[in-house]
Chain A
Amino acid sequence: MRRVRMPGRAAAVRGWRRLRRHRWYGEGPLHLVLMLGSFALTGYAGVRLLAGGRWPLVVVWFVGAALLHDLVLLPLYALADRAVVRCTAGAGRRRSWTAFVRVPAALSGLLLLVWFPLISYAAGGAPAAHYELATGLPAGVFLGRWLLISAVLFAVSALWLLCRTVQPRRAVGRLRHRRRATKRRAADGD
């Protein structure tokens, strides 16, 4: 852990502080001040956040957001990523496909995560009706748009992969040519 650098003070004071720090608090005085200040603000805003009859639900949302992310969302996308890596690792191929699947899938998943309510309005029901009633806009369009963007992302990725797979042989030839030219220029310069 980080230590707060002590200014030049009497050794006795330093020793006393270090003793206290190590004995029970384990951190420097700045740490304690910051923690107390931070929790004071948390308490002041927290009682207002939790005012009203539905405070247990607010606590569930606040803590649940962290738990849901750390224990569900993150392991899920990490496992999905591992599956992508395993399926695309370049067994027998010169170039791994991993990035060409991982990148469009991650971007498409990100859009779904952020705009899930909008995208889900395509299923109809009360939320979609509420959106249409409030804004006067059609609610069903977002699923199609998300699918379209995802399709474009995967198509661009596939084209890119195709170009990279077809090109190397020609690129190698060009590179050799360029290297020869560079060498010649360097020799001229000497």
Chain B
Amino acid sequence: MASSRPIPPTSPAFWRSPLRGPRLTALLGVVLLAGITLLFVTGLLSYAAYNPDLAGGVNDQTPGKGLLGFYLFSWPTGPRWLYRLTQGVHVTLGVVLVPVLLAKLWSVIPKLFRMPPARSAGDALERLSLLLLVGGALFEFVTGLLNVQLAYLFPGSFYRLHFYGAWVFIGAFVAHVVLRMPRTVRALRERTDPAAEDDETGLVAVRPDRPTVSRRGALGLVGAGSLLLLVTTAGQSLGGRWRRTALLAPHGGADPGGGPNGFQINKTAAAVGIRARDTGDDWRLTVEGGGRRVRLTRAELLRLPQHEGALPIACVEGWSTDDQLWSGVRLRELAALVGLGDRPPGVLVESLQLHGAFRRAALSGSQVRDPRSLLALRVGGAELSRDHGYPARIIVPAAPGVLNTKWVARLSFGEG
């Protein structure tokens, strides 16, 4: 063309990178297929870990789930690091996949501007599905990344948006994977991309620029981005000395304070409205169940048999602590105080905290019966600090952190 008019992005000649082609897209696509599948599965597991069906749905942030909860099962209490692992993988992998997702979207951007917008009804449907795919992927990554950084900018409850958003996304994802799989496999088998005139994918540039980086170099950059994110994030889920390496993770770097209570805090006492007079000498623990009720002072609790257990705290935000040495009264022995010691049922735990979605939380019967499940009074040989739940808190193996209720005021057995 002799004309000097600028070429519009709807023209194939506008897209000049010699890197684009079915092979690059296929490679990135296969990485995303594996990564996003693992993200989806660990996400579903996290929902199951909340035991959302207990006690009429006290723990359930998406009670209208309907058929989408078809897979739910009673979350086990072992191994004790189970939720640490699944949720650490979910969040860390999500962070690490960001550059792969960006590169994948970059590799197919010419197709957004393809003309005509739809060649047929089927093509139009597929393009609508692609909007759900790209919008859904970005929506899930953005809401997840904002939530772990405590930046609650999204419109509504994180649980609702992230859970239902994932289902909207996964429908488009499965369709996309099935439709693109044959071409992806072929691209991975071929040693080179086809020439632009033979390329039916519309990815190969018809008027390529001189390369400024090889395809291997570009993939190396994506990999380096993932690696950099991994080493500056993973430490918040590994704990111990590794936490210091997590320079850009919300719970990376140093632990708050020192001593036995110097480990990560999800919400401080001040953040959820715990007042000093609520946790003083007037504090009583109410234990109910089987038509009986017992009220105990902290001194009385300390006179009951004390048990020790080393358990971690693992948050839905992906960070977790090493095992902390808790000591306190077994939940099943508290159930025995109201005559439910033989086969204790689940329990509804209520906190003193004034706000927070989990100031009431339910534990299952199997969680109550696990001998490691405690109403903890001490940690690491010291009194619990106010921020870790003084006068008493729940600690249950393998449960999400929010179910380890702090500042416990009431245990209602048989309502869990």
Chain A interface (Cβ < 8 Å from any Cβ of B): 1-2, 21, 24-27, 30-32, 34-35, 37-42, 44-46, 48-49, 51-52, 54, 57-58, 60-63, 65-66, 69-70, 74, 78, 85, 89, 96, 98-99, 102-103, 106-107, 110-111, 113-115, 117-119, 127, 130-131, 133-137, 141-142, 145-146, 148-149
Closest beta carbon of chain A to B241's beta carbon, Å? 17
Are B229 and A111 in contact, CB atoms less than 8 angstroms apart? yes
3 shortest interchain CB distances as A-B pairs: A26-B120, A27-B122, A45-B167
Complex Cα–Cα for A4 and B274 (A): 63
Once bound together, how far apart are the Cα atoms of A149 and B66, in whole Å? 46
Instruction: Indicate if the CB atoms of A137 and B105 lie closer than 8 Å.
Output: no
How many interface contacts (CB-CB < 8 Å) are there between A and B?
210
Contacts known (A31-B122, A135-B265); A70 close to B64, Cβ less than 8 A: no
Q: Could you tell me if B251 and A66 are in contact, using CB atoms closer than 8 angstroms?
A: no
B156 adjacent to A54 (CB under 8 Å): yes
* Cβ 8 A contact of A25, one of B120, B138, B164, B251: B120
Contact of B256 among A54, A61, A99, A136 (CB under 8 A): A136
A106–B68 contact, CB under 8 A? no
Query: Is B283 part of the binding interface, using a Cβ–Cβ cutoff of 8 Å?
Result: no
A85-B212 contact given A111-B228, A136-B257, CB 8 Å threshold = yes
Docked complex Cα distance between A136 and B224 (Å) = 32
Tell me if B123 is interfacial: C-beta within 8 Å of chain A.
Answer: yes
Q: Does the CB pair B171–A70 fall under 8 Å?
A: no
Chain B residues with CB under 8 Å of chain A are 62, 64-68, 95, 98-99, 102, 105-106, 109, 112, 119-123, 125-126, 129, 131-132, 134-136, 138-139, 142-143, 145-146, 149-151, 154-156, 160-161, 164-165, 167-168, 170-172, 174-175, 178-179, 182-183, 200, 212-213, 217, 221, 224-225, 228-229, 232, 247-248, 250-251, 253-254, 256-257, 264-268, 270-271, 387
The answer to whether A114 touches B256, judged by C-beta atoms less than 8 angstroms apart, is: no
Residue from A26, A31, A58, A102 in contact with B155 in the complex, judged by beta carbons closer than 8 Å = A58
- Please judge, given known A-B contacts A52-B156, A70-B134, whether A131 and B229 are in contact too, CB under 8 Å: no
| CA distance in complex: A113, B101 (Å) | 13
Q: With a CB–CB cut-off of 8 A, which chain A residues contact B62?
A: 48
Known: A48-B160, A99-B213; 14 extra A-B contacts, CB below 8 A, are A2-B183, A35-B125, A38-B171, A41-B167, A48-B164, A57-B156, A63-B135, A98-B212, A98-B213, A110-B99, A111-B232, A114-B95, A134-B268, A146-B248
Q: How far is the CB of B176 from chain A (nearest CB, A)?
A: 9
Find B268's partner among A26, A60, A70, A135 (CB 8 Å cutoff). Answer: A135
- Between-chain CB contacts (< 8 Å), 13 pairs: A2-B182, A41-B168, A41-B170, A48-B62, A65-B142, A66-B134, A66-B138, A70-B112, A96-B212, A102-B213, A133-B270, A135-B265, A149-B248
Q: Determine whether the beta carbon of B150 is less than 8 Å from that of A131.
A: yes
Residues of A within 8 A of B167 (CB): 41, 44-45, 49
